[in-house]
Amino acid sequence: MKPIQVGLLGIGTVGSGTFKVLQRNQQEILRRAGRGIEITMVADLDVARAQSIVGEGVQVVGDARAVIANPEIDIVVELIGGYGIAKTLVLEAIAAGKHVVTANKALLAVHGSEIFAAARAKGVVVAFEAAVAGGIPIIKALREGLTANRIEWIAGIINGTTNFILSEMRDKGLDFDVVLKEAQRLGYAEADPTFDIEGVDAAHKATIMSAIAFGVPVQFSKAYVEGITKLSATDIRYAEQLGYRIKLLGITKKRMDANGVSGIELRVHPTLIPAKRLISSVEGAMNAVVVQGDAVGTTMYYGKGAGSEPTASAVVADLVDITRLATADPDHRVPHLAFQPDSLADTPILGIELVQTAFYLRLRVADEAGVLSSITTILADNNISIDAVLQRESAEGEKQTDLIILTHDTIEGRMRTALAKMQSLATVLAPIVSIRKEELA
C-alpha cells in the first residue's frame, strides 16, 4: 500500500524532531499503523536550512500554500504557531480535504470551535495531542481512555518554564526576577517570556482540556489568567513551613452552586498544594496533569511538556492515528472534543468572583494587641472560615510582624470584599498577599 504522504509547515524545533522520529522509528510505525508514513514536502522560510535537515529526498519550498495545493499530500502538519497565518493555512488545508495535525495550543484555544466545525463539514480530522503538555498523552486520555467517566476536575502543571522558575525559587530562596534571568540564560525561558510567566500559555492548554473534559466549546476568552511575576521567595518559604508548595496550576472544575445551577471553573494562577500530593514533587521543566473521574478516581500523567522529540512523539502519534482512521466513516471517528458535536453543552464558564477555593493570606501588621481579633472579625463577617493562623514573633526592636492565615473554601467574591476591608485597617502596613489554595483530593 502506498505510504501516507505528509507535508510539514515549519521545521523548527518540533518539526525537525518530528522528521527525525519518523525516520528513526519508521519500521515500528509501519507495524503499528499498517501503512508507511513519509514526510515528502516541507515549507519553511529558510529553505536552505530546512533542506539541510531533511536531505535531498524531500521537496522543500518557501511557500506553505504549495504544500496544501499538492494533491499527493494526505496530511498537513502545522508547526508555525500563533493565531495569524497558522489559522489561515489550517482552514485552507481543511478546505482542500487534507487531514491536519497541529501543536498550536493558542490557535485551538481561541479558534478551535471554528476549526473543528470546518473539519467536520469536510470530513477530515484535526489532531492536536502535541498542543497540550508536549509528550504526555493527556488529550488521548481525556478523549478515549477516560470516556466512561464523568470528569470532576483537572489540575495541571502545564508550563515547564514557570515550573522551573518556581522550583529554583524554592530550592535556592531567590526572588522571581533573579531566577527568570537564569532561566533565560539556560534556555528554559524565551527572550520574551510573557506568555509563560503571565500564565497565558497554561491557560491555552487548560482551555482545551476543559472543553474535552466537560463537552463544551473552547472559550479561552472566559478563562481567568494570573501569572507568577508577583510571587516572592518569602511566600514560597512560608508555604513550605506550612506543608505546602506553590505551583502555577491550570484548573478546571465542574460544580453546582447552592441553587443547583451548573458551571465550569476555568482558571490559571499560582496555587498552594499540599507537599504530600504527588504533583507537588514535579520539579524543573517537567509537566504533570491530575484528572479526577467519578469511576476511576484520581489519575496523574507526568512527563516532558516541551522539547523537540517529546513533542514530536505526540505529533507522530497523531499521524499514526490519522493513518489508521483515513478510511473510516467520519461519523464513527472519535469526536475532536470527545463529545458528539451536536451534543456539546452550553454550561457557562464561571467568573472568577464565583470560583470556590481556599486561600493563603500574608499580612504585614503592627505588632500590637487586638490586630488578630479585628482581622478574624472581618473574615467571620464575610462567612470565611479560618483553617490555621501563624504569627511570627517580631524581630528585636521591630514593631511589626507577618501574620499568615489559611482559610477553608470560600467564594472568591467574599474574599475580595474581606481583603478590601482588611487592607483599610490602620494596623495592616503593606499590601496583603493572597494566593489560592487547593487540596487536590
- Residue (of 266, 171, 162, 278) closest to 210 by Cα position: 266
What's the DSSP call for residue 30? H
Instruction: Give 231: exposed, middle or buried? Use CB within 10 Å, 0-12, 13-18, 19+.
Output: buried
242: left (phi over 0), alpha (psi -120 to 50) or beta: alpha
Q: Which residues contact 415 (CB under 8 A, 6 or more apart)?
A: 359, 382, 384, 407, 434
Distance CA(173)–CA(189), nearest Å, equals 19
Catalytic residue among 87, 105, 140, 205: 205
**C-beta separation of 169 from 231 below 8 A:** yes
Report which of 277, 223, 274, 293 is spatially closest to residue 437, judged by C-alpha positions. 274
Neighbours of 440 (CB within 10 A): 18
Residue 222 known to be catalytic = no
Question: Is the Cβ–Cβ distance between 122 and 94 less than 8 Å?
Answer: yes
**DSSP labels, 352-408:** GGG-EEEEEEEEEEE-STTHHHHHHHHHHHTT--EEEEEEPPPPTT-SEEEEEEEE-
- Spatial neighbors of 258 by CB under 8 A, at least 6 apart, are none
What the block records as the C-alpha cell of 386 is 479560618
At 290 the three-state DSSP class reads strand
For helices 105-122 and 85-95, angle between their N-to-C axes, nearest 10 degrees:
20
Give the active site residues.
205
